[in-house]
A and B are shown apart, each in its own frame.
Chain A
Amino acid sequence: MTIHLPIVWNELLRLGRRRITYINRTGPLLIALAFLSFAMAISWYTDEIFTPSPETFGSFMMFLVAIIEVLTGFSAPMVACATLTDEKDENTLGLLLMADLRGWDVVLAKFVSVFLLSEMLLLSAMPFIGFAMIFGGVDLHTVGMHAAMMTSFLIMACAAGTYFSAVSPQSGLAVTQTALLLGLWFVGTSYVDYNSAAWGLPIGQPALGVLTPIWGASGIPLAQMLPGVFLNMIIAAACLFEAVRILPRQIHARADAPRTAKVRGSERGRRWARRSSEPLAKLAASSLRSMGFSRRSIPMRILAFLGLLTILMFPVAGLFMLWILVFRETILALKKAREQGALDDLVLVPVSDEALGVAFWRGHTCATRMYFAAIVIWFAFYAWFMQFDRNGVRMLLIFLPITIAAHINVTALSCVAGTARFRYGMTGSLWAYLFVGGAVIGLLMPLYVEYLIGMFPTTRNLVYRTGAGYTVLAIAVYIGVNVLGHLASALLAVRCLGGRLRRCAGLQGT
């Protein structure tokens, strides 16, 4: 059980060549800075001139640190998810194991390199920590505890990512599964945390400091942290051991082996394929499927589905997670299709660009229908949950059509994003990040505007401020505007999709 340094070196070298690494390194920092300026602007606008005491400034800095940490905690396992699936993609896993390397050499080296990368990402928090310490918001003890907890979390998350990348045939799936595990971890630790006082146990903050960063670590004695750290270490060890155990079996999972799913799948899509663009849409669906949407066994599907469900427990975050996955998978599948020429037969079909775009998008909708099902189940779950809420029905009525329209919009946009030329697959995540970043700002804006000017028709207001003069008509208009907005965006995307597909396959539009 040694760390094979050449693999670590190789991994870091290759990560260093990928654009996504630079984005991962600078992205969190930039977002923190953007947040800083946004907060400044808001406080200036609201005339609450920002004259903080050193203490509040320090804790504000720690809040920025927390943003960086959360983003790192999110992106590091993503990178880990691609480590071993990449080897499978490029057919090099067998070659590695044929060299004089044992499973441990490979798994541990991959894990260490991703962990090192994530620690490097954390370094971008250093200036803020420095400020915080200068202004006295935090002391060395807090920062130390923080770093220790974050490290223990990252060890766990990276190990989980490495494990799932060993199991999955494809990185998108590994991301889903990692999200499942982290989701369970989050729910479990929150539960323990919430109940530990009631149980009279000093479990306190089991590794949760990451999620409650500012107040989490301060003033808690080290001993109380240990259970959480211990839990993380156990999960990490279990993941790594299991990854080593199953690794040799993974070489045999030949990526190109089962082609049967393709045929079966396109037959199943008969219902939606009755209209004129049928054969084309079928072709699109099957080329997408053969490019990665299909490579799933039943247990994997169930696991992925559970993962989605767990994520969806957290309403808005869950939806965004889901859409990130749709984005990533589409972009990766399209990239691969382009590389292997799987798109060529599709774009050569002599139809107009519009028809091609519509057909492709329908094929894509069919290939990603699992996500649609996840949304429906999410609503079923909420419908059950909402019976305890006086405003539940109203909430559902507003949310359901908007979410469905938004989902349609997302699938269309992800197709268009996938036609952009990327050199590396991971760059696809950039689009997902950008999209989600834009959407989050789009969601936050009305909230801030509402904060500034009082009443504003946000979903929350419509649901909870029933007495405040929102009529049924107002609600209907709100829903209508949102739904139409999404659909118009989707329509625009689909219209330009065909031409883009042809261009990205190197053809002129017809």
Chain B
Amino acid sequence: MTDPSGSGPGAAPSKGNGAGSPDTRYAELRRLLVGPEEAQLRQLQQRLDDPVLHAEDVSRIIAEAVELRRGRDTRLRRALLPVVEDAIRLSVQRDPSVLSGALFPIIGGAIRKAVSGALKGMIESLNQTLEQSFSLRGFQWRFEALRTGRSFGEILLLRSQLYQVEQVFLIHKQTGLLLHHLSSRDAVVKDADLVSGMLTAIQDFVRDSFSPATGEDLEVMQVGEFNLWIQHGSRALLACLVRGVPPRELRRIFQLSLTRIEDQFWRQLDEFDGNVSTFAPVQPILEACLLGKLGERPRQRHTGRWILAGAACLLALFLAFTAASRQRRWNAYLRRVASEPGIVVTSSESHWGSYLVTGLRDPLATDPSQLLADAGIPPEKVAFHWEPYQSLQPRFLSIRRYQAIKDWIESQSVFFELSSSYVGDGLLRPVARKLLELDQAAEIAGKRYRVRIEGRTDPPGTVSRNRSLAQERAGAVLSELVRQGVPPARLVASAIPRSPAESGAETANSWERRVSFHLLEP
């Protein structure tokens, strides 16, 4: 191609030549013919050579071009791959925090999800295998579950030897100080205090860095071959170091223990001033968390130890025996209470020798604490929590009915004319009917009673006249009631004498010329 720029060897000498030479004419012709195009060409060349302009041009179309090419084949991708890889490598070398910062929101969550998913899956499949396996051992466990009334899971938990809770830390949430620590081995544990502090610091760190808003707490940590399970309460943490694959049930047990501790010690936890000895009584609760291969103790060699061990065994047997008989007594008592009409036991718990019974109780039912003495259980060991309710037991229904009728009858009065003991016709019919009903209800409720018919008079008149008038009025009511079918054995008529003080007001008044009723109950 000819060089159009004019700087080439063909263009330079043309200016120096005289006019009219063939060269000049040719150049003239050329200028005339292709002059405008030449200028355009020059412009174009300039554009291609100038990197700034060129870049500007490419930048205008590069996105569209990439898009087009991407759709056509995979070469672009293949060409870019090493570039991107290098770029990432460089970025990590220069400042890892940039990339990790950018990726954390995705990766952090994904890892957490994957880890917890994998963990859950693992444990679940293990659980399933265990539950489905039909070994002699499995069979024994099922039998044990049946016999003791515990769930199969619980028995599995107690019997399977796949894990060991090695250490339990009770940590004060606020200060991170160790309140109590237990380990399943005799090995001296180095600096449980520091572990406790570190745990809290890690919690603080996690809460600060990852989820300040949600307040999500760290619950599982993998520490070497250990799982660290952390239960969060409002005032304390319970961290348990478990070797092996802990079953899910364990978590519930830890949670229950922590709840129990917080329930019993909330005041000490709130008022904690660094004095850890106040938490010595949590020992048995924490001990119950040290589950696993606890039974496997190293064999004792020395005879002296054997004797000691024997004595310990005897003691243990004795304790077990007393515990068992105490348990039997308690169970018998519970059955007795539950069989009482008007009592529904919804739950009963025992904590270290004291008991809590919850349920529904009709106020008319026997007081269960009265039955404790019979059962030989010290009353101070038992707390009851009863919600009141009305039992539909026939006896309780009748008692309620009896009470209602009694109240009604005692509110009734039969009034008389001056100096008269005449009972109007039909006046007593409602009372008579109620008395018959009362008789039925009393029979079912097992109540004995008599109705005293009380005759009264108003002040005017002599004392003896008034007394006989009152007696006459009561008698008239009695015979009228008997006439209407009320059993006479249930009725007594009596005159209520006016006391001399009352006699002071000498005016006649109709309110006091009446007969009323009162139930006498032995």
A and B associate in one complex: no
